[in-house]
Structure 1
Amino acid sequence: MKRDKLPIAVFVSGRGTNLQSIIDAIEAGRLDAEIRLVVSNRSKAPALQRCERHGIPYEVIPSKKFETPEKWGEALIEAVKRSGAELVVLAGFMKVVPANFIEAFKNRIVNIHPSLLPAFKGLEAQRQAFDYGVKLTGCTVHLVTPELDSGPIIAQAVVPVLPNDTPETLAARILEHEHRIYPQVVQWFAEGRVRVDGNKVWVDGARYGTLPFNPELEKF
């Protein structure tokens, strides 16, 4: 029996490499999702060129055009509802999402962050980890809550820090893991397997206790 595709909206601000990983997974038939809308706060975001190449609708909704975060949030809510998206995927969206938007799509907004949260929240997490001298870092996919980079964790990937690393080489290896783990998490949502239990999130039927990805990736 063919599974219905999960309608999603992807929010971007920059290059859009995580957006591209989702596009590639959909086009390869590995991800049962449909990108109904891409939203950017920047009209010149390179990610929008990816939308044009793949025929994906997009809107530019910059926060600076609105008097308050709440009014910006209302515009974002309207755009996502109009698209019919059921999951919002933040993929390098470099603005704090308004609280009213988070409330409107509670437990239906995911973000990917380039550290093993709760360590190294905020900007330049890869450089934070490098400067601190940790021996393991990685990336985290989590639900979005009003507190920055603090929502319930869905999945994580571990990346070792090597003696000859620079912040740039470390960030590049983390990004490789991001491009695998993010489409997988979206697929788990598409399969209806993501279960929220208070401040914890579990994927029903997934295999836990594996590295570098926990839970273990199944299709990516």
Structure 2
Amino acid sequence: MLASGAGSTMAAVLRAQTRPAYGARIVAVISDVAGAGALVLAKQHGIATAVVSPAEFESRDAWNVALARTVQGFAPDIVLSAGFMRILGAPFLAQFGGRTVNTHPALLPSFPGAHAVRDAMTYGVKVTGCTLHVVDSGVDTGPIIAQVPVPVLDGDDQSTLHERIKEAERELLVGWMPRLARGFEVIQGRVHLPPFRGDTIE
């Protein structure tokens, strides 16, 4: 898992993976921020951690190469970007493209980028939501796996709306992780998954 922040999404997955039949587990947490809360949480649960800080590299490409090498060392089936505030570049995607997924706080293709919640409120939409998608070379342009709508309520501000979206993101990710861990393919811009028998996707 790639994370830059407190690790609230990771915490939801950690709770889910205590169920014997869950079918997925976090093998490592890698951050670009040395003091990220996600790293602290991972260590508390005995999960391997690593920091790959862009400040330590001469170029973005060099950082991407180092990040890919670090991820490869943990041999994950998939790579989850959860609150990771860096754009993954070509050197990383050359190795992990097609099996890196991301959660985004909007119903893509609407409102891509780092200010999705603010942009949705500014536009005045009545429904926004969250998207689970495959990461590609663009900014939130990869093939969509699943989405959950979240209504914009009267009296919402950016903070209250974002909190409800984050709750939806966590539920979406927890529901889909076991299925994604069993493998998926991207064919002609669409995500294809094998038949799944296990936890119900919520």
1:145·1:151 contact (CA, 8 Å) conserved in 2? yes
Deviation per CA, 1:110-149, whole angstroms, max 9, x where unpaired? 0000000011111121111111100110000000001110
Query: Structure 1: which 5+ runs fail to align?
Result: 1-9, 207-216
Task: Tell me which residue corresponds to 2:160.
Answer: 169
Q: Does 1:196 align with 2:178?
A: no
1:22·1:183 contact (CA, 8 Å) conserved in 2? yes
Measured at CA, do residues 49 and 160 of structure 1 come closer, stay the same or move farther in structure 2, by a change above 3 Å? same
Residues 24-33 or 127-136, more deviating: 24-33
Residues 9-158 of structure 1: pairs in structure 2 closer than 5 A: 10-158=1-149
| Separation in 2, partners of 1:202, 1:173 | 28
1:138·1:156 contact (CA, 8 Å) conserved in 2? yes
RMSD between aligned residues? 1.6
Amino acid in the other structure paired with 2:43: E
| Separation in 1, partners of 2:185, 2:3 | 26
Task: Tell me which residue corresponds to 1:218.
Answer: 200
Q: Name the SS of the counterpart of 2:101 in structure 1.
A: strand
| Separation in 1, partners of 2:41, 2:21 | 19
Q: CA deviation at 1:198?
A: 1.1
TM-score, scaled relative to structure 1: 0.85
Residues 107-116 or 72-81, more deviating: 72-81
| Separation in 2, partners of 1:82, 1:159 | 37
Measured at CA, do residues 99 and 136 of structure 1 come closer, stay the same or move farther in structure 2, by a change above 3 Å? same
| Separation in 1, partners of 2:92, 2:68 | 6
Q: CA deviation at 1:101?
A: 0.3
| Separation in 2, partners of 1:189, 1:38 | 18
1:113·1:139 contact (CA, 8 Å) conserved in 2? yes
Q: Considering fraction of residues, name the structure with more strand.
A: 1
Query: Structure 2: which 5+ runs fail to align?
Result: none
| Separation in 1, partners of 2:20, 2:77 | 20
1:161·1:170 contact (CA, 8 Å) conserved in 2? yes
2:103·2:132 contact (CA, 8 Å) conserved in 1? yes
| Separation in 2, partners of 1:195, 1:180 | 23
1:31·1:183 contact (CA, 8 Å) conserved in 2? no
| Separation in 1, partners of 2:58, 2:22 | 38
Q: CA deviation at 1:219?
A: 4.3
Question: Between Structure 1 and Structure 2, how many residues are aligned?
Answer: 200
Deviation per CA, 1:74-99, whole angstroms, max 9, x where unpaired? 21111111111121000100011121
Amino acid in the other structure paired with 2:75: G
Amino acid in the other structure paired with 1:196: V
2:78·2:181 contact (CA, 8 Å) conserved in 1? no
Amino acid in the other structure paired with 1:119: S
| Separation in 1, partners of 2:89, 2:179 | 26
Residues 106-115 or 123-132, more deviating: 123-132
Q: CA deviation at 1:30?
A: 4.9
TM-score, scaled relative to structure 2: 0.93
